[in-house]
Structure 1
Amino acid sequence: MEKIALATKHQKEKLLVPIFQEKLDWLVQTATVDTDLFGTFSGDVLREKSPKETAIAKAKAGALNLGLSKGLASEGSIGPHPQIPFITADVEWIAYVDLEQNIELAEYFVSTEIVAVQKIWTQELDLAKLIAEADLPNHALIAKANHQGKFWSAKSLTNPAELNAAIASFQELAWPVDLILESDYRAMHSPSRQKNITQAANKLAERLATNCPACSGLGFGLVGHKFGLPCTGCSELATEAISADRFGCLFCSEVQVVSRGITSIDPANCQICNP
């Protein structure tokens, strides 16, 4: 059974170990890596890289920590949906690295199924309503504030007593700034996020379990698209329309182009007919 390092500080091993053991017969071992150093949801440590790059960096750190050549890690981002910005979405990236083969592979999953709340605390705030919206105690909340470069937070708040204690602690600081109450998105405190991490992990595991038809290397899968379809209205070529998918290998030059079975686009989707 091949050993793979997993960089996590927030109990993601409970989600990922069974998936990669079942699909790839891998023994996934948790590395001792402070993944908060790569960035936190609360903002006390800013993420310097993109979510994908951060997942790759954490996977490399985990592998180095355990002295293994291969590593896994994930990174999530909660914010406006990539295509529908007025909707909140959870974008989960999970990465696999092979330091010996110099291979990096990442898959992602986007979902609007995420418990995500954020409120500014005031004396008039209905805490009972907030607790219901935040799905406590199944999920958790964070209380945080930032004043003149100083960051204060209370995390893992799962009941009214803990929430009120955090508010009282903030009031003792007498900072003239807002107290933010928001969802604690760390994996162990967000079951809705856990489901999305699991979906991303399944995508990556299935990709890694797919062998190249030419060299049998792992990870054969989608590497890009072929663009360009004529419009049925103006006959111009819509260069942004996808006509086929390109599948490739991580180890050799094998590439397969698979048509999507679409030969043209409707004028409603044409930038010329419907700008």
Structure 2
Amino acid sequence: MNKEILNIANIEKYYGNKGNITKAINNISFNVNEGEFVGVMGASGSGKTTLLNCISTIDKVTSGHIYISENDITKLSKKRIAEFRRKELGFIFQDFNLLDTLTCYENIALALTISRVNHNEINTRVMDVAEKLNITEILRKYPYEISGGQKQRVASARAIITKPSLILADEPTGALDSKSAKMLLDSLENLNNKMNATIMMVTHDAFTASYAKRILFIKDGKIFNELIRGNDSRKEFFSKIIEVVTLLGGDQRDVF
């Protein structure tokens, strides 16, 4: 049985003061095991981004606990949080967050360089992940010399290079055209299948979500529904996602 990587235990997140309190997260509990690819969907304002921010240590919960690899991150000091984030979490952002003054190779290797990993090991690990993501030929180029889809795959390589417990992807296809988005999603699927990467991805987009193996739907700060892909084809899973999105109601343009 795969070990538990993420355990969300009765977390709540409030904003505002006594006169005007907004419950962004309302008593959510779930867990994610090693090697899972979990999608989180919901309309704007549903709480999904707040949830991701709390898991990523960017924001703090009002109550409840978040365990990542058995570490209760709700109890870590600021110093320990910075160290924990660097070692245990990988991030894939909508806007890539690559450094234009560094080559793609250097962007991917940066976290290892900061941690003073041996040069030969850095090279081996960068070349290995670059091959899996099909970006070997662009490693010596700078981010401004490559396409959006290639940038996002470089960002994915950077996220996985430290062998984190959990990769968090925030609307990873949001800034990409459909062809680049599909290439990135194929890459994420590769990381999940070939490297057993544990991925949690927040998305508005049903096509993007169909690449996940399990989806949590958030509505009004609570888990509204859960879908498990099982043996479904991606097309069959996509159809089921659309059905739940329709049930969620509201403005569908907010969900896709």
TM category, shorter = under 0.3
TM-score (norm 2): 0.24
Which has more helix, going by share of residues? 2
Decide which structure has the larger Cα Rg and report it: 1
Per residue, is there more strand in 1 or in 2?
1
